[in-house]
Amino acid sequence: MDYEVIIIGAGPAGIFAALELARLRAGRVLLLERGKNLKERCQRTGDDVLCGWGGAGAFSDGKLTLSPEVGGHLGELIAPDQLLTLLEQTDRIYVAHGAPDRIYGEFTPRMEELGNRARRADLELIPMRIRHIGTENCPIVLDRLRQALEGRVEMRSGCPAEQILTEGSRVTGVRLSDGTELHCRQVIAAPGRSGAGWMKQQADRLGLKSKASPVDIGVRVELPAVVFKDITDAAYESKLIHYSKTFDDKVRTFCMNPYGEVVTERANGLITVNGHSYAGKKSANTNFAVLVSSAFTEPFDDPIAYGLYIARLANLLGKGAIVQRLGDLLSGRRSTRERMAKCLTRPTLTDATPGDLSFVFPFRHLQSIIEMLAALEVLAPGVYSRHTLLYGVEVKFYSNRIAVSSELETEISGLFAIGDGAGITRGLLQASASGLLAARAAAGRLQ
């Protein structure tokens, strides 16, 4: 054997798997990453957005969600107390490498009162404990994690894995894109979001069971920070769920950024919107996504293709991202540069094209988004202002979910599938925790 374990992907899941295997002295371990090293990546452009050392988390604002109910499906695979312990262990590793001490969203009478207010507004508040690293600090923490692996794990960047090798029902190694075959006893596949398509191809080729995940499509909302101040001061990020009255669709807030900035991301030829919040600087606004979950059955069952279609339509109409005042949307007219000049909410994303999102979203999605904003107005007066800004589109693609055991092992013996790329997780902390869980199981097999 060339190696005891080969890890595919150096995102959070792969990094933490490597850290744990090194700690357990599992023997020769190779960490493969098809993208660039962290310092060579270009923020929010091309494949570098999602691919490279640190994965998609490298250019996020680094929210570590400590609540087991949010951030992935590990709670369906292991016991609640086991998951909570695993998340706390993972979190301590981040803190040891530079994550700040403060935790938001601790249960207090203020949080309880906030939950009661949400219920009266026809919303459900999901309690979340969050540690916020900050956009500018994420690369620093990830670089320290890389330094912690130096000399303990072999790491190769710019080295794509082409195929997982098997013999019968057991994994035997990995074939690289240059044709080199590397043999090992265990493979931990952590391809991340950028490798989700590759992971599905491997699953189909190997006959692994998987199922499609819904796609979340919506807008990024930007408004004066004072509108949400009492909520963000208590919870930092409030996860709010609403079921639309017209269609009974699930609508939720996502990735709330107090005093943050709206940004564009470019990948796979598409321009989409996202949000960031920094630890050391503040804008006058808060932004968050409002997303509608879409799942499909026969004859169409390709939610990713549907989300890509909506994103391409927005790019076609706006030559990139589109911004519209809520008042213009409700009045059935497009926003123009002249109307935007009168907007009391000053946009933090200045290169979005004023336009009309009703030409982009299906009526079902648009109606559900408007009803969500109306419900949020009851909770936080000012949300439904005509000066609230809506940016489109924001799309969250979730990978096909690979069938795995409670140790994250697939039906192929010795092959583990972890992180966002395998559809197991949807957030930074659970992705990292899945790396610890798989690494412990793989090390146990070696012993």
| Structure confidence at residue 48 (pLDDT) | 66
The answer to whether the beta carbons of residues 261 and 349 sit under 8 Å apart is: yes
| Structure confidence at residue 177 (pLDDT) | 95
Beta strands in 145-200 (DSSP E): 154-156, 161-167, 170-176, 181-189
Question: Which segments of 226-362 does DSSP mark as H helices, in order?
Answer: 229-235, 303-318, 326-330, 337-341
CA nearest neighbour of 255 among 229, 232, 233, 284: 232
Euclidean distance between CA atoms 297 and 210, whole angstroms: 15
Compute the average pLDDT of residues 73-80.
Answer: 96
Per mean pLDDT, which of 31-40, 49-58, 364-373 is the most reliable?
364-373
| Structure confidence at residue 45 (pLDDT) | 56
Euclidean distance between CA atoms 431 and 399, whole angstroms: 13
Residue 38 pLDDT more than 90?
A: no
* Separation in Å, CA 225 to CA 34, 308, 380: 39, 31, 11
Give 413-424 pLDDT, tens digit per residue.
999 999 999 999
| Structure confidence at residue 108 (pLDDT) | 85
Euclidean distance between CA atoms 127 and 285, whole angstroms: 23
Euclidean distance between CA atoms 47 and 82, whole angstroms: 35
Residue 44 pLDDT more than 60?
A: no
The answer to whether the beta carbons of residues 291 and 274 sit under 8 Å apart is: no
| Structure confidence at residue 236 (pLDDT) | 87
Residue 257 pLDDT more than 80?
A: yes
43 pLDDT band, cuts 50/70/90, is: low
Give 327-381 pLDDT, tens digit per residue.
999 999 999 999 999 999 999 999 999 999 999 999 999 999 999 999 999 999 9
Per mean pLDDT, which range of 17-21, 86-90, 124-128 is the poorest? 124-128
| Structure confidence at residue 397 (pLDDT) | 80
Angle at 230 between CA 229 and CA 234, to 5 degrees: 110
* Separation in Å, CA 162 to CA 2, 17, 182, 198, 441: 17, 20, 11, 8, 24
Compute the average pLDDT of residues 294-320.
Answer: 88
Query: What helix, strand, coil percent values describe the chain, rounded to 5?
Result: 35, 25, 40
| Structure confidence at residue 268 (pLDDT) | 73
CATH of domain 3-98+133-211+400-446: 3.50.50.60
Compute the average pLDDT of residues 258-278.
Answer: 91
Domain residue ranges of the chain, discontinuous segments joined by +: 3-98+133-211+400-446, 215-396
Q: Quote the DSSP letter at residue 285.
A: E
Angle at 423 between CA 115 and CA 78, to 5 degrees: 65
| Structure confidence at residue 316 (pLDDT) | 95
| Structure confidence at residue 206 (pLDDT) | 96
| Structure confidence at residue 313 (pLDDT) | 96
266 pLDDT band, cuts 50/70/90, is: confident
* Separation in Å, CA 359 to CA 294, 314, 318, 365, 413: 19, 8, 10, 12, 49
Ramachandran bin of 395, using left for φ above 0, alpha for ψ from -120 to 50, beta for the remaining angles = beta
Percent of the chain with pLDDT strictly greater than 90: 79
Per mean pLDDT, which of 102-106, 198-202, 276-280, 431-435 is the most reliable?
431-435
Compute the average pLDDT of residues 306-327.
Answer: 95
What single-letter amino acid sits at 407?
E
| Structure confidence at residue 47 (pLDDT) | 61
Percent of the chain with pLDDT strictly greater than 70: 98
Residue 267 pLDDT more than 80?
A: no
The pLDDT mean for the chain works out to 93
Q: How far is CA 422 from the centre of its chain?
A: 13
Give 91-149 pLDDT, tens digit per residue.
999 999 999 999 988 888 888 999 999 999 999 998 889 999 998 999 999 999 999 99
